[in-house]
């Protein structure tokens, strides 16, 4: 399969969050979210209390996927950035290593030009982190197997039975 599981370990997770928090502070954005292309959220920082994160992740990934298809219809490989402008809130979407989507939610308090400049270095940082994660994943399938052994599967199946009864 070309699409392997994405596993994120403690240290990488904190590095990712540090990088996102730096961007959040530097740009005064409301919130940042990292989402995998299948629509599953990896992490978020900032003020997300009023946002339904699961819905937001799934729709952002769909938005990005649909826009990428529009790009390919025009002969472009992808549109690297998507910008949605609202009256109060705006969304800026970019992609990390063609696999992870970074969504910035921001209001008038954020300067768009400044944000795009700062975003570039964050994207570079995140690319380095995810590059390491993907390398680890391709060499570390065994470790994952051990964490999710038969005990886990049995316990999960029992939860499933309870859920549907």
**Positions in the binding site for another protein (CB under 8 A):** 1-10, 13-14, 36-40, 42-43, 52, 54-55, 58-59, 62, 65-66, 69, 144, 147-148, 151-153, 155-157, 159-161, 163-164
Q: How remote is the C-alpha of 100 from its chain's centroid?
A: 5
Q: How far is the CB of 63 from another protein (least distance, A)?
A: 10
Kindly tell me which of 54 and 117 has the beta carbon lying closer to another protein: 54
Decide whether 65 or 114 has the Cβ nearer to another protein: 65
The residue behind tokens 């370990």 is 9
Question: 3-state DSSP call for residue 79?
Answer: coil
Looking at 74-149, list the stretches that DSSP marks H as alpha helix, in order from N- to C-terminal side.
Answer: 112-139, 141-147
In whole angstroms, the minimum distance from the beta carbon of 54 to another protein comes to 4
Neighbours of 79 (CB within 10 A): 17
Q: How many Å is the Cα radius of gyration of the chain? A: 18
Q: Report the nearest approach of another protein to the CB of residue 139 (Å).
A: 16
């Amino acid at each position: 399969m070309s699409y392997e599981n994405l596993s994120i370990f403690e240290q990488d997770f904190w590095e990712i969050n540090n990088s996102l928090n730096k961007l959040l502070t530097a740009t005064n954005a409301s919130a940042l979210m990292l989402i995998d292309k299948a629509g599953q959220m990896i992490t978020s920082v900032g003020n997300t209390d009023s946002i339904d994160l699961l819905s937001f992740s799934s729709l952002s990934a769909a938005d990005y996927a649909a826009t990428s298809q529009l790009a390919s219809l025009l002969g472009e490989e992808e549109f690297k950035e998507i910008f949605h402008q609202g009256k109060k809130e705006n969304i800026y979407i970019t992609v990390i290593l063609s696999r992870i989507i970074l969504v910035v939610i921001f209001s008038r308090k954020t300067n768009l030009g400044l944000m795009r400049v700062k975003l570039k270095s964050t994207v570079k940082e995140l690319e380095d982190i995810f590059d390491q994660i993907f390398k680890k994943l391709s060499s570390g399938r065994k470790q994952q197997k051990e964490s999710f052994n038969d005990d886990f599967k049995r316990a999960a199946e029992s939860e499933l039975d309870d859920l549907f009864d």
